[in-house]
Amino acid sequence: MALQGSLADIALPDVIQLVSVSGKTGVFTLSGDGADGKIFIKDGQITDAVAGKLGGEYAVYEMAGWHKGQFIFTAGIESERVTINKSNTSLMMEAARRLDEWRVLQRKIASMDLVPYFLPREQGQDQITLSPQEWAIVTKIDGQLSIAKLEDATGLPAFDVCKVLYGLVTSGLIALRSTEEKPVQAVAVAPSQRSLLALAENVRKLADESVGLSGSIAVEKQYRIARAEIEAGGAMNSVSSLVDRLARAISLLEGGDKAGEFLRKVTPLLS
């Protein structure tokens, strides 16, 4: 008989702990909060998970926060891949930490349906410095997309998106409105030199992953050109040009498929 029940009656971490102790192999199938997911266990250890667009440990963290829905454990089913190498204890501790942080985030972000928009900035205010992840989110804010749609647009976990937005709200860079409120015209935010340098560095790392040691010299050369342009006052086009040059170099060194893979990875940071 399959182990099954309601997430409202028993939390997922408690069920996983029970199965772990028994050393079972199988898959948890969950449906809750308008989404579905699976957690695969082998000999009591979580090996793989998927929830919507999320995979691996981030899918586990997502599902650990579901408080509504159903779960069923089907024994004997294994995943063909291993995406999780952390112990169950480490996963559940991190999931608990994130749930605690979620409660803090919800003080300012009460719903994923809220729409972020930029607040006007007075001339002469300090330049804005953003990390690559913050930049990927900021470039999608247009005063129209809800937080849930930003999550889809960036491909980032909801937790990461909300954590960045919480910081932006706290710093006074953005505000949140309900979908019923009148849309506010988005205010363009020019990235600081530091943000552009961080973005170029992130692009360089993705290129290095595509070419390996054999092409690292070519990647470094193009990166240094872009860095010099940015330090001389270059804007976002310096990073865009870097991406174009690196894509051509990767295509010559590793082939078109590798270049395409590089562009797919880097595009969310630029669009």
We report the CATH number of the domain holding residue 124 as 1.10.10
Per-residue model confidence (pLDDT) at position 189: 55
Cα dist from 145 to 38, 58, 114, 139, 183, whole Å: 28, 23, 9, 12, 10
pLDDT score of 48: 94
Could you tell me if 7 and 96 lie in one domain? Answer: yes
Using CA atoms, how far apart are residues 219 and 208, in angstroms rounded to an integer?
7
Say whether pLDDT at 122 is over 70.
no
Q: Is 187 within a domain? A: no
Average pLDDT, the chain: 83
User: Is residue 69 domain-shared with residue 161, that is, in the same domain?
Assistant: no
> How many whole angstroms separate alpha carbon 55 and alpha carbon 155?
11
Burial code of 47-67, b = ≥16 C-beta within 10 A, e = fewer?
bbbbbbebebbbbbbbbbbbe
Calculate mean pLDDT across residues 95-113: 86
- The count of structural domains within the chain is 3
Check whether 239 has a pLDDT greater than 80: yes
Q: Nearest 5 degrees, angle CA 195-CA 59-CA 171? A: 35
Residue at 146 is within a domain: yes
pLDDT for 84: 92
Q: What is the pLDDT of residue 39?
A: 93
109 domain-assigned: no
- Does one domain contain both 36 and 128? no
Q: Within this chain, do residues 97 and 66 fall inside the same structural domain, yes or no? A: yes
Tell whether 7 and 97 lie within a shared domain: yes
- What is the structure's pLDDT at 71? 86
How open is the CA angle 169-172-178, to the nearest 5 degrees? 50
Residue ranges making up the domain that contains 45: 3-104
Q: Which residue has the tokens 């579901």?
A: 66
Does residue 183 belong to any structural domain of this protein?
no
7 and 71 part of one domain: yes
Q: Is the residue at 251 inside a domain?
A: yes
- Give residue for tokens 């051509």: 248
Question: Is the same domain home to 137 and 201?
Answer: no
Pair 212, 235 in one domain: yes
In this prediction, residues 180-197 reach a mean pLDDT of: 67
* Between 96 and 121, the higher pLDDT residue: 96
The pLDDT tens digits for 28-56 are 898 876 778 999 999 989 999 998 888 99
Residue 254, pLDDT score? 81
Q: Please list, in sequence order, all residues whose beta carbon lies within 8 angstroms of the beta carbon of residue 149, skipping any fewer than 6 positions away.
A: none
Band of pLDDT at residue 16, cut at 50, 70 and 90: confident
